[in-house]
Chain A
Amino acid sequence: MKEILTPDTVLSDMIDINYSLLQVVSRIGLDLKYSGLKISEACTRSGIDPNTFLLICKVYSSNEYVPSKTDIAHGNISDIIRYLRGSHLYYTGAALSYLEASFDRLIAPCERRRREVIRKFCTDYKEELVKHFAYEEEVVFPYVESILEGSRAGDYSIAQFEEHHGNVEEKLEDMKNIVMKYLPAECDNSGKISVLLSIYHLQDDLRRHTYVENEILVPMVLNLENYGK
Chain B
Amino acid sequence: MVLIIPSEIVARGLKSILEESREFLVEENLYDCSRSGKARLRNIDPDVVVIDPAVLDFHGRKEGRNIIGEVCDSAVVALEGPAVNEDILRQYDGAFSLYDEHSLIIRKIRNAIDSRQVEPGPESGELSAREKEILVCVAQGMLNKEIADKFNLSIYTVISHRKNITRKTGIKTVAGLTVYALLNNLIDTGSVQ
Number of A residues near B (Cβ < 8 Å) is 19
Q: Is B124 an interface residue (CB 8 A)?
A: no
User: In the complex where A114-B189, A117-B192 touch, is A171 in contact with B173 (Cβ < 8 A)?
Assistant: yes
Closest to B189 in A: A113
Query: Which has the most chain B C-beta neighbours within 10 Å: A125, A171, A174?
Result: A174
Pick the contact of A114 from B169, B170, B172, B183 — CB < 8 Å?
B183
Q: Closest approach, in angstroms, between the C-beta of A121 and any C-beta of chain B?
A: 5
**Majority SS of interface residues in chain A?**
helix
Q: Closest approach, in angstroms, between the C-beta of B125 and any C-beta of chain A?
A: 9
Pick the contact of A175 from B176, B184, B190 — CB < 8 Å?
B176
Pick the contact of A182 from B175, B183, B192 — CB < 8 Å?
B183
Number of B residues near A (Cβ < 8 Å) is 16
- By a CB distance below 8 angstroms, the chain B residues around A113 are 189-190
- By a CB distance below 8 angstroms, the chain B residues around A116 are 189
Q: Is A155 an interface residue (CB 8 A)?
A: no
Per the 8 Å Cβ criterion, residues 94-129 of A in contact with B are: 113-114, 116-118, 121, 124-125
Tell me, in angstroms, the Cα distance from A170 to B171 when the chains sit together.
Answer: 9
The answer to whether B172 touches A117, judged by C-beta atoms less than 8 angstroms apart, is: no
The answer to whether A170 touches B172, judged by C-beta atoms less than 8 angstroms apart, is: yes
Closest to B166 in A: A174
Tell me, in angstroms, the Cα distance from A171 to B183 when the chains sit together.
Answer: 17
Pick the contact of B189 from A117, A171, A173, A177 — CB < 8 Å?
A117
User: In the complex where A114-B189, A182-B184 touch, is A121 in contact with B169 (Cβ < 8 A)?
Assistant: no
The answer to whether A121 touches B176, judged by C-beta atoms less than 8 angstroms apart, is: yes
Closest to B187 in A: A117
The answer to whether B183 touches A184, judged by C-beta atoms less than 8 angstroms apart, is: yes
Q: Is B154 an interface residue (CB 8 A)?
A: no
Offer 20 A-B interface pairs, CB within 8 angstroms, sorted by A.
Answer: A113-B189, A114-B183, A117-B178, A117-B182, A117-B189, A121-B176, A170-B173, A171-B173, A171-B175, A171-B176, A173-B170, A174-B179, A175-B176, A177-B169, A177-B171, A177-B176, A182-B179, A182-B183, A182-B184, A183-B183
**A-B interface, 8 closest residue pairs, ranked by CB to CB distance from nearest:** A174-B176, A113-B189, A177-B170, A174-B171, A182-B183, A121-B179, A170-B172, A174-B173
